[in-house]
Structures are given as C-alpha cells and as structure tokens.
Amino acid sequence: MTGGPRWNEAEDSFLPTRGHLSAALSIVRDFQPLEDIQAEAQRKVLEFATQYPDALYRSCLEGHFTGSSWVVDHEAMHGLILLHSKVNRWLQPGGHADGDGLLQMVALREATEETGIDGLKVWDDPIDIDVHVIEKRSSSEPAHLHLDVRYLVKAPKGAVFRGNHESKALKWIEKDDLESVALSLDESTKRLARCGFALAERLLT
C-alpha cells in the first residue's frame, strides 16, 4: 500500500475493492519468509490458488483462504489465545475470508469478533503463512486445506476481552508460556507468536 505498511482499523475507507483473488495473491507473493516452512507454505498457497480461482470462498471444498492473527496487548508483553469450542485446543483468533481478498482485514474482523475487543488495529504486512488440513466434519464438509495468512493485531490500552460462542475461554499469555505443557500450543501457533512478539517489540522501540 502507498506509504508502506501501517496500522489499519476496520473503518478505513480508502482500502481498494476487497472481493478479488488478485488482492490475496498479491499479499502472498509480497510476503518475505524468514523460515523454510513459511516459504513452503507460500509456494503451496500460490499453487493452490492457481488451480482453484474460487479459493477465497469456503464453497471451494478442497480448501480456502483464512486470516488469523497474533493479538498483543498495548505494551506487547502478552498475546491473546482462545480455547476453541470445536477442536478444544488453544489457538489464535482467525476465520474464513468469505470472499474478502484483503486478508489483513479478514484477520482484523475475526480478531474483533472472537475477542470482543473494540479498537483493535492490524499491521498491513503478514507475519506468517501456514497451510494445514482441517479434518472431515460431515458429508457436506470434507477434509480440506486452510490457506492461513497471519497478521499482528494490537489491542488498545486497558483492553478487556469478552469472547463469543466460538471459544470456551480466552487468556493473555507471555512469551515464556509458549512452551507450557498445560496449553499444548502447536508448532504453528508458537511460530506465529514468536513472529508477532518480535515485530511488536520492534514497532514499539
């Protein structure tokens, strides 16, 4: 975007048309991986979207784009995780693109809905990309891929979470908690957290 990356809020009006796969692909192409696993995920997403031009929509049963985020508090000392109702695991906020090619705004929307925190802001550039399999849940929802593009989201000072029906609980955690046996965070979530904390610290210094 013009002027380089910045913090965005949901009400920004200058943002371009959102419903184009080209917007999502541009975001993925411009991502600069720091680890081999991120580069591999980037390659898989671009290859998948070439084969499935409807990949922005969950009606693409083979797989589809999602946007998720590492939400930090105002001082970037804590990150917010939620105990997901369906899978009963601690995860970051996130959800389906549902046709929105501006994946940073997907991540912001989902973080706002799932945490209940008003005034969240998202950093324009993604911090991680992940491709993972969602197991079959019903005959109408076969096993499929989530092409997850991930962002840093910052909460305002004094933010209090509320949550919604998609989670059983929410929790602020510190970097030292990422290896907690009790939380059992998967490697993908821990990678996202490390990237999120690192960028947040740089932006605050």
pLDDT per residue, tens digit, the chain (205 aa), is 446 788 998 655 445 555 689 999 999 999 999 999 999 999 999 999 999 999 999 999 999 999 999 999 999 999 999 999 888 999 999 999 999 999 999 999 999 999 999 999 999 999 999 999 988 776 667 899 999 999 999 999 999 999 888 899 999 999 999 999 999 999 999 999 999 999 999 998 7
Burial class (CB in 10 A: 0-12, 13-18, 19+), 16: exposed
Q: How many CB atoms sit inside 10 A of residue 86's CB?
A: 9
Asked whether residue 1 is domain-assigned, the answer is no
> What residues contact residue 4 under an 8 Å CB cut-off, 6+ apart?
none
CATH number at residue 173: 3.90.79.10
Question: Domain tally for the chain?
Answer: 1
20 belongs to a structural domain: yes
Of 106, 58, 90, 100, the residue nearest 192 (C-alpha): 90
Range of the domain at 127: 7-204
Q: Taking a C-beta distance cutoff of 8 angstroms, is the pair 67, 75 a contact?
A: no
CB contact set of 35 (below 8 Å; sequence gap of 6+)? 191
Three-class DSSP category at 35: coil
27 belongs to a structural domain: yes
On whether residue 2 sits in a domain, the answer given is no
Q: Is 121 helix (H, G, I), strand (E, B) or coil?
A: strand
